[in-house]
Structure 1
Amino acid sequence: LDVYGDWTNNGTFTANNGTVTFTGATNTTITSGTAESFYNVVVNKTGSATLTIAFITQQISNNLTFSNGIIVPNATLEFLTGATATGASNTSYVQGQVRKTGTNAFTFPVGKGGFYRPIAISAPSASDTYTAEYFNTNPNPSYPRANKDGTLDHVGSTEYWMLNRTGSSNAVVTLSWGSTSGGISDLTSLRVAGWNGSTWKDLGNSGTTGNTTTGTVSSTSTVSVFGPFTLASSNTNNPLPISLIDFTSVLKGGVVDLNWSTLSELNNDYFDIERSTDETPFYSLKKKIKGAGTSNQVHSYAATDYSPPLGKVYYRLKQVDFDGTASYSEVRVITNDQLNTIIAYPNPADHVIHMDTRGRRVNSISILNAVGVNQQVPVTVNDSTVTIDSSGLAAGLYLIKVVLDGNAHTLRVIVSR
């Protein structure tokens, strides 16, 4: 049975030994009154089309074949005893919870953000239920990476898996890595790390597959405590890569101060600040801050957004390696309710600077360079907007001194080329 649209069933579905193929270029949603038990399922969507599981757990009793397309389960996708998953890749995996029941070894076909990152267990001794999900984010602050066994030099900062068990059986846990895990350079010092509620425990390395680009590592023995798992290293090898300790955004005096620190860095060329609002997508503020290259020492960085727009403003760090590979931090948000703030944009600017006066009358305006010399540039004043022709200004920092309705204001603007 080939399904090109949605699957909606309020009755009874009997799979027998049949195969249901979800295909086509449109998104598909599975909706049913009770759990469907599919025998074979093939996911073969076109382009970026997805398969969404709505509300009710759906089951696989034999095999799920991934060809193309992401499964997004709003409810759990469950593999029954003996069921398998094959063909998962960066273009086809489960972005959410996968549950497995039975005594067979199993590889959970999970991923997120365009990356397939499976986690596997050996055959449990009892027919218990295991549930797994992958997160492509730093375990901090929920599971502090600094709280670790003494045998671990550092714990990975870019990803973790949540693997939970219902029952009492134990299993060997196998984690995977790929290009976004970053910094894998010494397979022998890689470790499986598991969170026991307060500490990242060293679960060892009984063997690896693959190479420094992609592969797997297994725990030394069966694991009895389940929860978060991630990659770690027993020495300074495998930097695992940029380890961001914190990233803060604070609104003060009409400007936003951005501060962040790293515990370690790998091939870090520079950071950039990106900003967005509810109306605009993320774009660069052109604030390139040089990174530390490769380092296992703490480094602190700072930048300032001198002209944040009103309302909710979102910030994120873009970290760029020497080879051009980029990654992004978690998003920080501030609410700018300082109605007296004068907005100059873009900042940094190139050939033109706009200034929002919030409807106030412009009494006077001047533009000074960094040493206080007044700059003669064309200025156009409209109802609530001032337009400054900055095409003749050299790159650098400038002060805009403006008097609005008798009140003086000073704005800092950077001109870049």
Structure 2
Amino acid sequence: MKNLCYLSFFLFGVLGHAQTALYNSGNIRIHDQGQLGFHTDLINDAAFDENVGLAGFYGNDQIYVSGAFAPTFYDMEIANPTGVLLQTGINNLNNTNFIVGDFLTFKNQTDVSYTFLQNAFYVGDSDISQVDGYAGVTGQSSFTFPVGDGVQLRPLILRSESENPLTKCAYFFENPGSPTSISDSFDPTLSSRELGGVTGVEFWRLQGSVPSTIQISWNERSNIPFLTDDVNTIMVVGWSKAEKQWVPLGPTGAVGDLSTGYASSESFIPDDYEAITFGTLDVPEDFLDLENYIVSANGDGINDILMIPELLELSPNNHLKIYNRFGSLVFEQENYTDQFKGYSNVSNFVIDREQGLPADVYFYIVTMDDLGLDFQGFLYLTR
């Protein structure tokens, strides 16, 4: 015998809103094989979290979900072209089926999200059905956020070192320097010295406490040709909370062309950054060539250490960065003297530290703060 969904609720008119609402003040439960379709608003002021069947949002009028408690549904689907506005969050235990319409949240309220729990997943996300606002995930280490701006799906792929207690993501098709959805701003002209530019077209906001890598993509609407004419210079950048500027979050070496493509980051902690977008590692025109160096880290006492005499003599206040041929940062030192001996000191660079960096050609950038000059060159590491 098919299990039924037994409900205890009241229907009443909502002042200022044309349609009625389902008001839950008791203990609603969707049993196995049960189905509950919402064609009206949901005001959830009691526990609604022991569900097994299917809950769906249907119709053509926008539906509001509000109340003191976030409902937790097992299987979910949305087939409402005007969308479902979340004034309180929704949790999904199993599957979400995006058919048509968006789950919407206020982008200036990060505490409300459509959240996928530990074993939850989704299907059907597209330009016509997504999360326009904050999507969250808990208890998972890898997840693709089905976020967008209600016009295009603009997912962010997250890969974390361990399961996330909770991480959230939203996409903004807005200039980060003057966004309309939030009061914060992240001026694209404020960036660290190694960046050549930061896009003023779009950005993502990502919250999370677990070290993670991400992948974001661009399309024709991203207007990448305005940022650069060389795909190889594109990288993921983040607005640092500590530095109050855009800084690199990954290597160059993006995949694609100027119309479509994607870039990946190195490992970082999302909570350390306010926003994420695309930037370039273009070499500024005022870079001057210093010498190219050879470091033979074999312990014979000859060229075992990278020595740049000009730093100590002309600019004790300096900043050295060394990158491998793929654009990944492998060594960084402020006020460098002679610390580089062929080993990485960057915690997020995966390597056998006891064996040191592999013999190869490396690229270095050094900032001489006392002179206001930047230099670049190549480093040949042998063993």
Give the TM-score normalised by the residue count of structure 2: 0.54
Q: Which moved more, 1:152-161 or 1:6-15?
A: 6-15
Alpha-carbon distance, 1:149 to partner = 2.7
Conserved 8 A contact 2:235-2:253: no
Alpha-carbon distance, 1:126 to partner = 4.4
Q: What is residue 174 of structure 1 aligned with on the other side?
A: 215
Secondary structure, aligned partner of 2:58: strand
CA distance 1:30–1:206, shift in 2 (3 Å): same
Mapped partners of 1:155, 1:33: distance in 2: 40
Alpha-carbon distance, 1:125 to partner = 2.0
Q: Which moved more, 1:36-45 or 1:212-221?
A: 212-221
Q: What is residue 226 of structure 1 aligned with on the other side?
A: 273
Mapped partners of 1:111, 1:136: distance in 2: 8
CA distance 1:123–1:85, shift in 2 (3 Å): farther
Mapped partners of 1:187, 1:82: distance in 2: 37
CA distance 1:77–1:181, shift in 2 (3 Å): same
Deviation track 1:236-279 (CA, whole Å, cap 9, x = no partner) reads 9xxxxxxxxxxxxxxxxxxxxxxxxxxxxxxxxxxxxxxxxxxx
Q: What is residue 148 of structure 1 aligned with on the other side?
A: 191
One of 120, 125, 128 as aligned partner of 1:91? 128
The CA RMSD over aligned residues, in Å, is 2.5
Alpha-carbon distance, 1:122 to partner = 0.3
Tell me whether 1:131 sits opposite 2:168 in the alignment.
Answer: yes
Give runs of aligned pairs for residues 12-411 of structure 1, distance below 5 A: 12-46=47-81, 49-54=82-87, 56-74=88-106, 75-112=112-149, 114-140=151-177, 142-165=185-208, 167=209, 169-183=210-224, 186-197=230-241, 198-205=244-251, 208=254, 212-223=258-269, 225-235=272-282
Conserved 8 A contact 1:134-1:162: yes
Name whichever structure is richer in strand by fraction. Answer: 1
Name whichever structure is richer in helix by fraction. Answer: 2
Alpha-carbon distance, 1:31 to partner = 3.1
Secondary structure, aligned partner of 1:115: coil
Alpha-carbon distance, 1:3 to partner = 2.6
Conserved 8 A contact 1:99-1:129: yes
Stretches of structure 1 lacking an aligned partner (at least 5 in a row): 237-417
Tell me whether 1:6 sits opposite 2:6 in the alignment.
Answer: no
Alpha-carbon distance, 1:181 to partner = 0.6
Deviation track 1:343-399 (CA, whole Å, cap 9, x = no partner) reads xxxxxxxxxxxxxxxxxxxxxxxxxxxxxxxxxxxxxxxxxxxxxxxxxxxxxxxxx
Alpha-carbon distance, 1:102 to partner = 1.8
Secondary structure, aligned partner of 1:128: coil
Conserved 8 A contact 1:53-1:71: yes
The aligned amino acid for 1:183 is I
Mapped partners of 2:46, 2:162: distance in 1: 36
Largest Rg, 1 or 2: 1
Mapped partners of 1:18, 1:65: distance in 2: 13
Conserved 8 A contact 1:206-1:221: no
Secondary structure, aligned partner of 2:232: helix
Mapped partners of 1:40, 1:69: distance in 2: 17
Q: What is residue 353 of structure 1 aligned with on the other side?
A: none
State percent identity of aligned pairs. Answer: 27
The aligned amino acid for 1:203 is L
Mapped partners of 2:253, 2:77: distance in 1: 32
Alpha-carbon distance, 1:11 to partner = 4.3
Conserved 8 A contact 2:137-2:167: yes
Secondary structure, aligned partner of 1:112: coil
Mapped partners of 1:26, 1:4: distance in 2: 8
Conserved 8 A contact 2:237-2:249: yes
Secondary structure, aligned partner of 1:111: coil
Stretches of structure 2 lacking an aligned partner (at least 5 in a row): 1-34, 107-111, 179-184, 284-383
Give the TM-score normalised by the residue count of structure 1: 0.50
The aligned amino acid for 2:198 is V
Mapped partners of 1:190, 1:66: distance in 2: 32
CA distance 1:129–1:26, shift in 2 (3 Å): same
CA distance 1:23–1:214, shift in 2 (3 Å): farther
Deviation track 1:9-41 (CA, whole Å, cap 9, x = no partner) reads 444435543222212222112234411111121
Deviation track 1:157-209 (CA, whole Å, cap 9, x = no partner) reads 111111122x3x20002222222211356443210001113221112247656
